[in-house]
A and B are shown apart, each in its own frame.
Chain A
């Protein structure tokens, strides 16, 4: 195996391990995004899920910096994530000029944030698109065909993980699951704020503190976040 093949194999082993052990869907999606960024030689990434309000919500991002999160939120208007979600197809553009034609406002903000290219692949569940995996790079240009394939494989794993947390009987279960996960996401944002303020941390550091505690104690991320917001748990300094 080449070094890259080994990295890919490692990533899939790690992801599969997470899927079978004590499973926490939000933590899993964060791990997946981090590995996707690494494997696709990207500089940032995230997962957006359909929220049944007709919009897309950021579920996991490789960094918690406000400007990055905004790049995802902006895609409720335009951008590769929205396009992948609507078309059900992988989305890429050959160069920044083509990006500007398709997504003028998004591309402007992307460039302000220091990135030069963006790609998205849909997360598909049978005939339904439930979200998209998005990566940003500082170098311009499209992903290679093999990287695009890898991105699709990672997006498929993300979809499977949504069904894994509970045995899913039908679409109704998916609706329950998605709304539950979306509320947990808000809870984690609140906990990041509480921790950031108490400990003088940046929100990204606050997230890592939450996740480290969740993993060490084998507690779901959302439960740790709830304990922090309700003042039952103090982390860090």
Chain B
């Protein structure tokens, strides 16, 4: 995953990362098309990037229909692996399966882009041949989904302070990081996505590893505060300091 992110950063400015990501994913997983879409509780709310041709066509189809593997993956928080759309796609998503058939797509694999309670979107893989996504292809798909999580979290952040460095921090899966994100969300009264970004910004500003910062939060050696103007950002974070006031509430 770190390698994927490094290649994106090297490829150009952050706005171009989604386009590079879907293309890199298509090549690494041996599929025909790949799309990256945002999903909210009403369904697909926007297509962020798609490979030209089949990828773009089917992303637009799911967006306009409001049905397909994407809504299902997003709702359940699990990947939806459909190695043969002709087999059970028709009963699950009749209109989508018909449209996919017309476009020559026989298999679809959709990965939800979620970090616990943070639901960002989905990564859709489409292939003209039937059959499962296995072995190294599956590993690559999951790695690209992790990279997509980091990219979307980064692009949705208000402050760009941490820049491209520490992008991988946003896809850290260690328990302590997510416990700390939950604590910081309460401390700053923000959602867990903002809390995760605040942890990363703090780590960047203090030149520390995000896991160490998270460890300090969980051990209650470090608290996050509002920066004064009501926004919660890395720059406003203060150490509790010695003496009174540093104790947990």
Please list the residues of chain A having a beta carbon within 8 angstroms of any beta carbon in chain B: 51-54, 57-58, 66, 69-70, 73, 170-173, 175-177, 179-180, 182-198, 200, 203, 222, 225-226, 229-230
Q: Which of B18-26, B28-36, B53-61, B113-121 contacts A (4 or more CB under 8 A)?
A: B113-121
B192 / chain A contacts, CB cutoff of 8 Å? 190, 194, 229
Chain B, interface size category, equals 35 or more
B112 / chain A contacts, CB cutoff of 8 Å? 179, 183
Q: When each residue 117-135 of chain B gets 1 if its CB lies under 8 Å from chain A and 0 otherwise, what string results?
A: 1000000000000001010
B194, chain A: closest CB distance, angstroms: 12
Residue of B nearest to A192 (CB): B179
Query: Are the C-beta atoms of A179 and B174 separated by less than 8 Å?
Result: no
Q: When each residue 96-120 of chain B gets 1 if its CB lies under 8 Å from chain A and 0 otherwise, what string results?
A: 0000000000000001101111000
Query: Are the C-beta atoms of A176 and B178 separated by less than 8 Å?
Result: no
Residue of A nearest to B174 (CB): A73
B215 / chain A contacts, CB cutoff of 8 Å? 66
Query: Are the C-beta atoms of B249 and A200 separated by less than 8 Å?
Result: yes
Residue of A nearest to B186 (CB): A197
Could you tell me the dominant secondary structure of chain A's interface residues?
Answer: helix
B229 / chain A contacts, CB cutoff of 8 Å? none
Residue of A nearest to B112 (CB): A183
B107, chain A: closest CB distance, angstroms: 11
Query: Are the C-beta atoms of A193 and B183 separated by less than 8 Å?
Result: yes
Q: Which of B76-84, B154-162, B201-209 contacts A (4 or more CB under 8 A)?
A: B76-84
Query: Are the C-beta atoms of B185 and A66 separated by less than 8 Å?
Result: no
- Which of A51, A190, A200, A203 interacts with B218 by CB under 8 Å? A203
Please list the residues of chain B having a beta carbon within 8 angstroms of any beta carbon in chain A: 1, 76-81, 83, 111-112, 114-117, 132, 134, 138-139, 142-143, 146, 173-176, 178-187, 192, 215, 218-219, 248-249
Residue of A nearest to B136 (CB): A54
Known contacts A66-B218, A172-B81, A203-B218; is-contact A193 B185 (Cβ 8 Å)? yes
B81 / chain A contacts, CB cutoff of 8 Å? 172-173, 175-176
Known contacts A179-B111, A196-B182, A197-B182; is-contact A226 B117 (Cβ 8 Å)? yes
Query: Are the C-beta atoms of B142 and A190 separated by less than 8 Å?
Result: no
A230 / chain B contacts, CB cutoff of 8 Å? 117
Query: Are the C-beta atoms of B77 and A180 separated by less than 8 Å?
Result: yes
Query: Are the C-beta atoms of B142 and A52 separated by less than 8 Å?
Result: yes
Known contacts A176-B79, A180-B78, A186-B115; is-contact A229 B139 (Cβ 8 Å)? no
Most buried by B among A182, A184, A229: A229
A66 to B143, CA, bound (A): 26
B218 / chain A contacts, CB cutoff of 8 Å? 66, 193, 196, 203
Known contacts A189-B182, A191-B182, A226-B117; is-contact A183 B77 (Cβ 8 Å)? yes
A81, chain B: closest CB distance, angstroms: 15
A222 to B75, CA, bound (A): 13
Given contacts A176-B80, A183-B115, 12 further A-B contacts (CB under 8 A): A51-B142, A66-B218, A183-B78, A193-B180, A193-B185, A194-B186, A194-B192, A195-B182, A196-B182, A203-B179, A203-B218, A226-B117
Residue of B nearest to A52 (CB): B142
Q: Which 10 residue pairs of A and B lie closest in terms of their CB atoms, listed nearest first?
A: A193-B182, A180-B78, A189-B178, A187-B116, A186-B116, A197-B186, A229-B117, A172-B81, A193-B179, A197-B183
A180 to B76, CA, bound (A): 8
- Which of A66, A175, A182 interacts with B219 by CB under 8 Å? A66
Residue of B nearest to A53 (CB): B142
B115 / chain A contacts, CB cutoff of 8 Å? 183, 186
A88, chain B: closest CB distance, angstroms: 17
B185 / chain A contacts, CB cutoff of 8 Å? 190, 193-194, 197, 229
A177 to B76, CA, bound (A): 10
B80 / chain A contacts, CB cutoff of 8 Å? 176
Known contacts A69-B176, A73-B174, A180-B78; is-contact A52 B182 (Cβ 8 Å)? no
B143 / chain A contacts, CB cutoff of 8 Å? 53
A182 / chain B contacts, CB cutoff of 8 Å? 173
B232, chain A: closest CB distance, angstroms: 14
